[in-house]
Amino acid sequence: MDNETIKTSLANQLASPVGTQKIQIEVSELVTTIKEYNAQDLPIYFRWDLGQNPWFYRVRQKDGKIVVDCLKNSYGQIEHTYSSITSAFHKDNKVVAEDEWRNIMHKFQEALR
């Protein structure tokens, strides 16, 4: 192709109207339980459990910031990651005792050996 053909093709593409599509967006209200707690309550432990693969959250202070650790127990494998505070305080999560967090952390450390 020569330059004139390319210029003509581009001009035709730019001159043609762009199709419009209607996009419908649903906005759902995000509900958390974060307002129910104070900084003095930290660390707080949560479990999200919708089946056989629970996730455990620990919300704590570290160097003056709030950090959310997450242990994902998936199909016999345990993964450590960080998460958002919104995920930890989601209304579907259940508050658990520190012992439950320690048990899953122990399993995670054993898997590393």
What is the average pLDDT across 77-106?
91
Domain that holds residue 46: 31-112
Give domain status of residue 12, yes or no: no
Asked whether residue 5 is assigned to any structural domain, the reply reads no
pLDDT at position 39: 78
**Which pLDDT band holds residue 75 (cuts at 50, 70, 90)?**
confident
In a domain, 2, yes or no: no
Residue 107 counted as domain residue: yes
Distance between CA 89 and CA 111 in Å, rounded? 27
Which residue did the predictor score with more confidence, 11 or 88?
88
Q: How far is Cα 62 from Cα 79, in angstroms, rounded to an integer? A: 21
Length of the chain: 113
Mean pLDDT lowest for which of 41-45, 71-75, 79-83, 94-98? 71-75
Full-model pTM: 0.68
Cα(30)–Cα(92) distance, rounded to whole angstroms?
Answer: 11
Query: Within a domain: residue 19?
Result: no
pLDDT in tens, 35-67: 778 778 889 999 998 777 899 999 999 998 899
In 3D space, the residue among 27, 106, 39, 37 whose CA is nearest the CA of residue 71 turns out to be 106
Provide the token pair at 112. Answer: 């590393």
Q: Residue 25 domain-assigned?
A: no
Q: How close are the terminal C-alpha atoms of the chain, in Å?
A: 63
pLDDT of residue 97: 94
Scan for tokens 């930890």, then name that residue: 88
Q: Is the pLDDT of residue 29 over 80?
A: no
Question: So what's the pLDDT on residue 25?
Answer: 62
| Number of domains composing the chain | 1
pLDDT above 80 for 13: no
Beta bridge partners of 65: 62
71, pLDDT greater than 70: yes
